[in-house]
Amino acid sequence: MVFFNRAMLGTLLALFLATPSLALNILMYHHIADDTPPSTSTRVAVFQDHLDYLKEHHTVVDLLWAMDEIRAGRDLPDNAVAITFDDAYRNNYTTAWPMLKEAGFPFTIFTATQPVDQGSRLVMTWDMHREMHAAGVTILNHSHGHEYLVRSDTYDEAWLNNAMESIRTGQARLEAELGTELPKVFAYPYGEYNDLLQAALREEGYEMAFGQHSGGVAEFSDMMALPRYAAGGIFANLNTLRPKLRGRPLPVEFPLADPVTNDRFPILRVRTLDNPDVRWDAIQCFSGGGDPLPTRIEAGWLITQTESELRDGRQRYNCTAPSRSVNGVFYWLSQQWLINQGPVDR
């Protein structure tokens, strides 16, 4: 029996060691500065700590290359991580870029184009964008006006036209200023989306879209609701970031439920996928505030629901399950909710 257990453990370990090359963890930053709003900022010294840690323990890869590899079912380097920035703040150019060049790391910036057009001193100028683009930095669409795209009293044709117009304008302005056609890849402002917007993006020819909920990316992920780990504000702490970067995406069947709901006690019910390394018996789910949620696995379904009424706005369920083969490694899933932000009859 001891021999059998050791043999099984060896098999599981081999499976786990093969798995990381098929998964990607993505970091999301906003400001890299010591004098900007704390909730969206990573202090300069802390950012340097992040880069040093990544240099020693991970392989930083280009986002679009890595996503192409994942969608094609090809291997990534072990412990692959991609770096992204939302909003194209000027300190991304003045502070973060020199540090990233020194580290030799590729990265991606998602730009909302209206603040650039308006000459806001908070964001990079078009000249800065062109300089970075010419140097190989990936610059992609984050809408024109950085609106709350799905917060609306109605989800009618006019709402969808307005949302898509902001997205189309953002893409067109980037392509005009950078002088080239860009991949149709989008990052949702505030990380907010719904089923209707996802479908419209697909119809428009978008290949993928990124949110701000947490978790890793694998071939089974929803390409129109891709997660990223926030690395600013309270989430910049390297002690709590390390285990996330070691984590794996929880194998479940996507897409998840539409995030927009008027139910203050929403149920997450999602079918699990086979993976012998996942300890489904030890899965735990929590609210965004860290409160434990009643959770069960029932006939191949993961089911969890809050017992406490969720407040209006962005809320979240996070679920983690430990690896059988590697101590301290967890599989991770995040479901975003937008409570009472859509039509009342939804």
83-110 pLDDT, tens digit each: 999 999 999 999 999 999 999 999 999 9
The per-residue pLDDT of the chain, averaged, comes to 94
Backbone angles phi, psi at 101, to 5 degrees: -60, -40
**Do 260-339 and 2-247 fall under one CATH topology?**
no
User: Quick one: pLDDT at residue 2?
Assistant: 35
User: Quick one: pLDDT at residue 22?
Assistant: 79
Average pLDDT over every residue of 25-35: 99
Instruction: Give CA angle at 142 (137, 147), nearest 5°.
Output: 155
pLDDT tens track for 195-220:
999 999 999 999 999 999 999 999 99
Q: Is the pLDDT of residue 3 over 90?
A: no
CATH homologous superfamily of 2-247 equals Glycoside hydrolase/deacetylase (3.20.20.370)
- The model's confidence at residue 178, banded by pLDDT at 50, 70 and 90, is very high
Q: Is the pLDDT of residue 289 over 50?
A: yes
pLDDT tens track for 135-172:
999 999 999 999 999 999 999 999 999 999 999 999 99
Among 10-14, 35-39, 318-322, the least confident range: 10-14
pLDDT tens track for 44-55:
999 999 999 999
- Taken in order 159, 164, 167, 169, the sign of the CA dihedral is negative
> Could you count the other beta carbons within 10 Å of the beta carbon of residue 182?
15
- The model's confidence at residue 335, banded by pLDDT at 50, 70 and 90, is very high
Report domain extents, the chain: 2-247, 260-339
- The model's confidence at residue 21, banded by pLDDT at 50, 70 and 90, is low
Strands 25-29 and 208-210: unpaired
Q: Is the pLDDT of residue 6 over 50?
A: no
Class of the 260-339 domain? mainly beta
Cβ proximity of 123 and 89 under 8 Å: yes
Residue-wise DSSP of 136-201: T-EEEE--SS---TT--S--SHHHHHHHHHHHHHHHHHHHHHHTS----EEE-GGG---HHHHHHH
User: Quick one: pLDDT at residue 345?
Assistant: 58
Q: Is the pLDDT of residue 114 over 90?
A: yes
Q: Is the pLDDT of residue 19 over 70?
A: no
User: Quick one: pLDDT at residue 344?
Assistant: 59
User: Quick one: pLDDT at residue 10?
Assistant: 46
